[in-house]
Amino acid sequence: MIPLNKRFIALLVSLLLGFVSVGCAAEQKPGDIIAERTKIVLDTLVKQRAAFSADSAKLDQFVQSELNTLFDREYSARLVLAMHSRGVDANKITAFADALINTLLRKYGAALLETDPSTDVKVLSETALRNGEMIRVATEVHRRGGAPIPVDYLFRQNNGEWKVFDVIVEGVSYVQTYRTQFDELLRRQTLDQVTERLQQGQIDVKN
Distance separating alpha carbons of residues 73 and 184, to the nearest angstrom: 21
Q: Does some domain include residue 205? A: no
Q: Are the C-beta atoms of 28 and 98 separated by less than 8 Å?
A: no
Of 13, 197, 180, residue with least CA distance to 105? 13
Q: How confident is the model at residue 130 (pLDDT cuts 50, 70, 90)?
A: very high
Q: Does some domain include residue 204? A: no
- Number of structural domains the chain divides into: 1
Which residue range forms the structural domain that includes residue 41? 4-199
Q: Does some domain include residue 9? A: yes
| Confidence at residue 20, expressed as pLDDT on a 0 to 100 scale | 47
pLDDT tens, residue by residue, 23-54: 455 556 777 767 666 667 778 888 888 998 89
Distance separating alpha carbons of residues 5 and 11, to the nearest angstrom: 10
Q: Does some domain include residue 83? A: yes
Mean pLDDT of the chain: 81
- Cα 37 to Cα 32, 55, 63, 120, 123: the distances in Å are 9, 24, 14, 11, 12
Q: Does some domain include residue 51? A: yes
Distance separating alpha carbons of residues 33 and 123, to the nearest angstrom: 10
CATH code where residue 25 lies: 3.10.450.710
Q: Does some domain include residue 52? A: yes
DSSP characters for 1-37?
---HHHHHHHHHHHHHHHHHH--EETTS-HHHHHHHH
| Confidence at residue 17, expressed as pLDDT on a 0 to 100 scale | 53
pLDDT tens, residue by residue, 153-205: 899 988 888 888 888 888 989 899 899 999 999 999 999 999 999 999 999 88
Residue type, 70: L
Q: Does some domain include residue 207? A: no
Q: Does some domain include residue 36? A: yes
Of 198, 167, 172, 176, residue with least CA distance to 185? 198
Of 33, 63, 74, residue with least CA distance to 175? 74
